[in-house]
Amino acid sequence: MCLAIPAKIVEIEGKDAVVDYGELKQKIRLDLLEDVKIGDYVLVHVGYAIQKLDEEEAKETLRILEELASLEE
């Protein structure tokens, strides 16, 4: 099963970006998207931003993922 995770873009340099997952920052690529800027939320899959997300949608998805993680504990 493959999973794409929402993340907020905090740095951009060319087609490289750094995203913030909350407790983790990761370097990703922006090759598949246009018109992305710092502060945007994107879905990240295997190191690539694959879709821009509305901020509210991204935060709700992150909330659900956190809730699922807490059920595992």
* Conformational region of residue 28, where left means phi above 0, alpha means psi within -120 to 50, and beta covers everything else: beta
**Distance, CA of 9 to CA of 4 (rounded, Å):** 15
Give the per-residue pLDDT at 49: 97
User: Hey, CA dihedral for 50, 53, 18, 46, is it positive or negative?
Assistant: negative
pLDDT in tens, the chain (73 residues): 678 899 999 999 999 999 998 889 999 999 999 999 999 999 999 999 999 999 999 999 989 988 988 887 6
Complete domains list, the chain, with CATH = 5-72 (2.30.30.140)
pTM of the model: 0.88
Which residue in the block uniquely carries the two structure tokens 């899959």?
A: 45
